[in-house]
Amino acid sequence: MHENYDLDQLLELVRTKQFRRLRELLDDMNEVDIAEFLDELGPEETILVFRLLPKEVAAEVFTELEDSDDQERLINALSDKELREVLDELYLDDTVDLIEDMPANVVSRILRNTDATTRTQINQLLNYPKDSAGSIMTTEYVYLHPNATVEESFARIRKVGMDKETVYTCYVTQRRVLLGVVTVRRMLLSSYDTRIGDIMETNVLSVNTHEDKEDVAQLLNKYDLYALPVVDGEDRLVGIITFDDAMDVIEEETTEDFEKMAAILPSDKPYLKTGVLETWKARIPWLLLLMLSATFTGIIITSFESALAACVVLTSFIPMLSGTGGNSGSQSSVAVIRALSLDEIDFSDMLLVVWKEIRVAVLCGVCLACANFVKMMIVDRYLMHNPEVTPLVALVVCLTLVFTVICAKVVGCTLPMCAEKIGIDPAVMASPFITTIVDALSLLIYFFIATRLLGLNT
């Protein structure tokens, strides 16, 4: 809630039905703040307060509502006339986003309350693949003719600009083919009789309708653009993608990556709006898979049972080795996944990435090994009076640390790159998956070194 508004005061006005005073406060509030306020209300109160809003503000607030259930509830409560007023104020891409989240009966009612032209455009956008640029673009942009003068172009902007998503950047087209772009700033600084074709920028960055929407969002961020034109296979301008659409994509993809990195199936609902059973369904598949994969570590420990029996003290250091290996692998995987998502590296850089991670791993491993050797000698052997922690046992643990960290970092950096190469989201290869693999490797390394240096029988 914006600092100028007291949530408790607004809730009290709703409770005491002081709607005139409430409307006065809502008139001064930002649409985002109003949406947050509606989130705090019950279903009936939400509908009541929504009806107090002017239609232009109501449409903005509607798009800011986080939960599609709240939007569906409002649609069902509004009359056809009220619904048409809201839909008329929505930008086309927002209407398409709304339809994608609604059940069939609600979609039918929405389409029934839009005009024929809008319905045609909506159906066209809905036909694009879900993750494509075409699915998030809007067809509400200003296009100008290259032979038009600046004065004629300003007249056109005044005529059609009110319903467009942006008027600052205008697109110059001829027979719908994209020729260039011109900004209002450039037009203001030119004389009225100047032809648009003489002042337009012809070196235009554009994307195809079927390009991945995450790549498009990164392009907008990379080149610091407010909007990006979308063209079809014949370079005809069919829409634009604005920075707010790109921010939504980045937020959605980031959330999805975090969930995959935590071994949770992605969800598009806010945390508190997601039911217990739905949360369980999102988490249990990965937990089952990871639990079963951890069987390998049990098999390894069982295989070296006699070695552990001969030197029981080795058992106490297994959690530390596994944990350090898992953490080391996670560090590398997160760094590589981020670099992949930002297009800083690709599969062809595999050797460079591995070589860098090996050098980092050696430095980290040696530092950890030295610190652990001192800790084992001072704390475990002398302060805790454990005579089984000999210098040779400490050497076994410390050597294992070094090689475990090296293996973990190599695994952590290569798995995400291989995943992307074969078309799997690199985020899947994050913490839980890598930790399970590294646990098994660390045990193999541990028992291999222990059996060699301590002369244990397996």
**Shared-domain flag, residues 122 and 157:** no
Residue 140, classed as helix, strand or coil, is: coil
Residues 36 and 167 in one domain: no
Whole-angstrom distance, CA of residue 270 vs CA of residue 274: 6
Both 318 and 433 in a single domain?
yes
| Residue 138 domain-assigned (yes or no) | no
pLDDT value of position 3: 46
As a whole number of angstroms, the distance between CA 38 and CA 152 comes to 44
Give the count of beta carbons closer than 10 Å to the beta carbon of residue 87: 21
The secondary structure of 334-357, three-state, reads: HHHHHHHHCCCCCHHHHHHHHHHH
If you search the block for the tokens 């050098």, which residue do you land on? 359
Residue count of the chain: 458
Question: Do 321 and 428 fall within a single domain?
Answer: yes
Among residues 127, 156, 175, the one where a domain terminates is: 127
Q: Please report whether residue 188 resides in a domain.
A: yes
**236 and 370 fall within a common domain:** no
Separation between Cα atoms, residue 213 and residue 193, nearest integer Å: 39
**CA-based Rg of the chain, rounded to a whole angstrom?**
30
Contact criterion met (CB below 8 Å) for 243 and 168: no
Claim to verify: residue 207 and residue 167 sit in the same structural domain: yes
Q: Indicate whether 285 pLDDT > 80.
A: no
**pTM assigned to the model:** 0.56
Same domain, yes or no, for 91 and 191? no
Final residue in a domain of this structure, among 96, 127, 158:
127
The reported pLDDT for the residue numbered 2 is 44
Kindly state whether residue 265 falls inside one of the protein's structural domains: no
More confident residue, 54 or 68: 54
Residue scoring higher pLDDT (335 or 426): 335
Six token digits for residue 89: 């104020």
Task: List all residues 6 or more positions away from 446 whose beta carbon is below 8 Å from its beta carbon.
Answer: 314, 317, 318, 321, 396, 397, 400, 404
Structural domain count, the chain:
3
Distance from C-alpha of 357 to C-alpha of 362, rounded to nearest angstrom: 9
State the Cα–Cα distance between residues 309 and 314, nearest whole angstrom: 9
Structure tokens at 327: 């953490």
CATH of the domain at 314: 1.10.357.20
Cα–Cα dist 363/196, whole Å: 60
Write the CATH number for 239. 3.10.580.10
Q: Both 301 and 443 in a single domain? A: yes
- Beta sheet of 177-183, edge-to-edge order: 143-144, 169-174, 177-183
User: Tens digit of pLDDT for each residue in 316-374?
Assistant: 888 899 889 888 988 888 888 888 877 788 889 999 999 999 999 999 999 999 999 99
Q: pLDDT digit string (tens) for 382-402? A: 888 888 888 999 999 999 999
Structural domain includes residue 23: yes
In a domain? residue 50:
yes
Q: Please, what's the largest Cα pairwise distance for the chain?
A: 95
Q: Examine the pLDDT at 186 and tell me if it is beyond 60.
A: yes
C-alpha neighbours within 13 Å on the C-beta side of residue 444: 11
Examine the pLDDT at 418 and tell me if it is beyond 60.
Answer: yes
Rounded mean pLDDT, 64-72: 77
Q: At what angle do helices 43-50 and 7-15 cross, to 10 degrees?
A: 100
Is the pLDDT assigned to residue 98 strictly greater than 80?
A: no
Please report, for residues 87, 175, 228, 379, the alpha-carbon distance to residue 234 in angstroms, rounded to integers and kept in the order given.
32, 11, 17, 73
Structural domain harbouring 209? 143-244
Q: For residue 237, is it within any domain?
A: yes
| 58 belongs to a structural domain | yes
Domain stop point among 244, 272, 304: 244
Label residue 122 left, alpha or beta by phi (over 0 means left) and psi (-120 to 50 means alpha).
Answer: alpha
Which element (helix H / strand E) includes 269?
none
Residue 20 lies in a domain: yes
pLDDT at residue 258 tops 70: no
Confidence at residue 333, expressed as pLDDT on a 0 to 100 scale: 86
Question: Strands, E, within 232-302: which ranges?
Answer: 237-242
* 183 and 65 within one domain: no
**pLDDT for 207:** 92
Q: Do 221 and 311 belong to one domain?
A: no
325, 449: one domain: yes
Closest CA to 446 of 303, 295, 290: 303
Same-domain check for residues 217 and 352: no
Residue 423: DSSP 8-state: T
Distance, first Cα to last Cα, the chain: 65
